Structure 1
Amino acid sequence: MQISVDVHNYMETLIGAKLAKLEYTNKYTNEQLADLACIALNQLRPVYIRHDIDFLSGLPEEKLLKLQEQAIAALKAAETLIEDDQRKDRNHDDIPVIIPEHSDDEELQWYEEPIVPLKSQK
């Protein structure tokens, strides 16, 4: 099994179908469409499924309409962010570079806890 092949988020299908319409493709660049998709999908609860046809055959119509309404609302909210994007005239030379002050080889600070406890701590 491969998650990216066998399982997908149905909300991606809904958002993708909406973004493929001329009202979006004529108005936004590919970069903006990708941003719209990310912003919209981050607002939505994922609905993971294996096969669209199996999912849709068992889904009540009112639930499908609700999912579509949620997708449209998320896209409208995302559009406001894209249209008001402060980055559109940004010169790429102005992007700050942040250099971390520590390396990954350093020991943890006293207030940090490892994600996986060491065998000696068990």
Structure 2
Amino acid sequence: MSTFHDFLEKIDNPEHKQRMEEILTWVKEEFPHLDPEIKWNQPMYTDHGTFIIGFSVSKKHIAVAPENVGMNQFLDQIEKVGYDHTKELIRIKWTDEVHYSLLQEIIAFNIMDKADCTSFWRK
């Protein structure tokens, strides 16, 4: 978690900070081969130099960014659990349950789908 220390320290609300730390820790434990990084002041995980998933925080929610392909692949499930979303990100309200099984599927899909990817973002 040292990679994300400064990011987490900037979260004023202690409950939000703890929740974000739990999510980031879960990703690292579930996918230990992923590399934790900070880019554009946001925590993310990469695999062989390619983006897998990123996170950001706002006053009202945690934003999860799996890239558009990841969004499209799981759109029905994202809507079924009640998460608000855009074309590029999922919004998990601070009061919402974190559906770790859905996050696990999204991350696993991105790892598999980008196994041969040689760029940071999909082209």
Pick the structure with greater CA Rg.
Answer: 1
The structure in which a higher percent of residues are strand is 2
Q: In which range does the TM-score fall when normalised by the shorter chain?
A: 0.3 to 0.5
Higher relative contact order (CA 8 A, sep 6+): 1
The structure in which a higher percent of residues are helix is 1
TM-score by length of 2: 0.35
TM-score by length of 1: 0.35
